[in-house]
Amino acid sequence: MIPLQASDLARVVGGTLAGDDVLVRGGVQTDSRLVEPGDVFVAMPGEVTDGHRFVATAVAAGAALVVCERPIDDAVPHVVVPSGLAALQALAAHVVAAIREGCTIVGITGSNGKTTTKNMLQAILERHGETVSPVKSFNNEVGAPMTMLRATSSTRFLVLELGASREGDIASLVRIAMPDVAVVLKVGLAHAGEFGGVERTQRAKHELVRDLPADAVAILNHDDDRVAWMAERTAARVRWFGLEAVDGGLWADDVDSSIDGTTATVRRGDDAWPMTLRILGEHHVMNALAALSVADELGVAIPDAIAALESMVRAERWRMELLRPESGVVVINDSYNASPDSMAAALRTLAHVSRSSAARSVAVIGAMTELGDSQVEEHDRVGRLVVRLGIDRLVVVGAGAKAVHDAAEHESSYGQETTYVETSDQALALLRATLQPGDVVLVKSSLSAGLKDLGDAVGGVA
């Protein structure tokens, strides 16, 4: 964060300072376990606990200033505010305004691919200037401001991942940061249960570009009709990307994948650039095109940007992460997030790479969450897709995903190839007893299904 006097910080957040008017030079934390000497600790009530319970821990760790919703007895200087969340967001808006002149702000949203695209942009832009992007997938009303607060006067690129649980969430974050470049990747069924349907998801994602000024740029997925719809509903200049030829934009063909990665040819007009990603899955080509479009807009040469992408070993921990344990099996651990779209993409990747290497394919599937009334229907679709793709073995874990097993079992002649177990421990025992060297295993679920550790265990990660 930029340095601030405690009195100035109190003014910015609309609070009252108690104690010394210290100069704050550290970062901002909402988790007392992450506080380092000189940091600001923002105490907020949460869904599970109340940050005010951990003020003493933060002070002991060296917090220079506490922002809190009620007076505290500690000797540390503190600013009392009506709302810790509102204070956090106001402080983030102040920092963004202070650094905007020398910094380009990029916002990314979409039902799938935000974190991968963010990581791709980090890999590209950090070669050209100090780049700040979210830790993991910090993208909500707390996480996005926390990313903004990591920016300093030397930050040249600030990349924000903007997610939403309801309509209005992204709009509120846009008001804080107002991106210079905004990317919309895809509108799908991820979180559709929370929104109440894909149409409302579309409106929520549209908030990223809806209020942009005319001198901003909206980079939109030409292949997704729900994203293309946004082009007529923004004042920003529009750039397209996709797998079909698009005027003036980047597109790709010759897309292929193997167990060693993904290849494609990136094109613009008469220009063409080969690209070989070590990241597994043809669907990541779209994420790469989005990142390359931002880089191109910011003046980075396409060959240089592609070279940065080709240096990436993985998209993110537990996202299409390739593991090669001593057992001789190949594990694709993609158990950090799951939606109907990302589930289908991962299964198609499994089917394709296993066929290309003449290997047996094994899908280990856990529940997809936040699908609302379509929960059973979408899991049923997954089970039938497994059969249609010819995946050799299916293991379904947990009651939330049982419809996957039921659908696969009901398909003709597939009953002997699918197994349902209730727990990850049961799945691990089954896999260890039945996997053979050379098998390609996909472990795919939402994070709350708890399969990431199962994927690591099968993949030989301690």
CATH of domain 4-83: 3.40.1390.10
Looking at the DSSP bridge assignments, the partners of residue 441 are 331, 362
pLDDT exceeds 70 at position 53 = yes
**Confidence grade of residue 214 (pLDDT, cut at 50, 70, 90):** very high
Mark the binding-site residues, compressed into ranges.
110-116
Q: What is the pTM of this model?
A: 0.89
Residue 198: both structure tokens together:
């894909």
CATH 3.40.1390.10 residue ranges for the chain: 4-83
Top-tier CATH class for 321-458: alpha beta
CATH 3.90.190.20 residue ranges for the chain: 321-458
**Residue 304, Ramachandran bin (φ over 0: left; ψ between -120 and 50: alpha; else beta):** alpha
pLDDT at 270: 94
pLDDT tens digit sequence for 105-139: 999 999 889 999 999 999 999 999 999 999 877 89
The CA-atom distances, in angstroms, between 141 and each of 160, 163, 165 are 12, 8, 10
The CA-atom distances, in angstroms, between 76 and each of 22, 59, 438, 457 are 10, 7, 59, 45
pLDDT exceeds 60 at position 195 = no
Mark the binding-site residues for ATP, compressed into ranges.
110-116
Closest alpha carbon to 203 in 175, 166, 238, 172 = 166
Residue 449: both structure tokens together:
């299904």
Superfamily of domain 103-310: Mur-like, catalytic domain (3.40.1190.10)
pLDDT tens digit sequence for 341-378: 999 999 999 999 999 888 999 999 999 998 888 899 99
pLDDT at 196: 61
CATH 3.40.1190.10 residue ranges for the chain: 103-310
pLDDT tens digit sequence for 288-318: 999 999 999 999 999 999 999 999 988 888 8
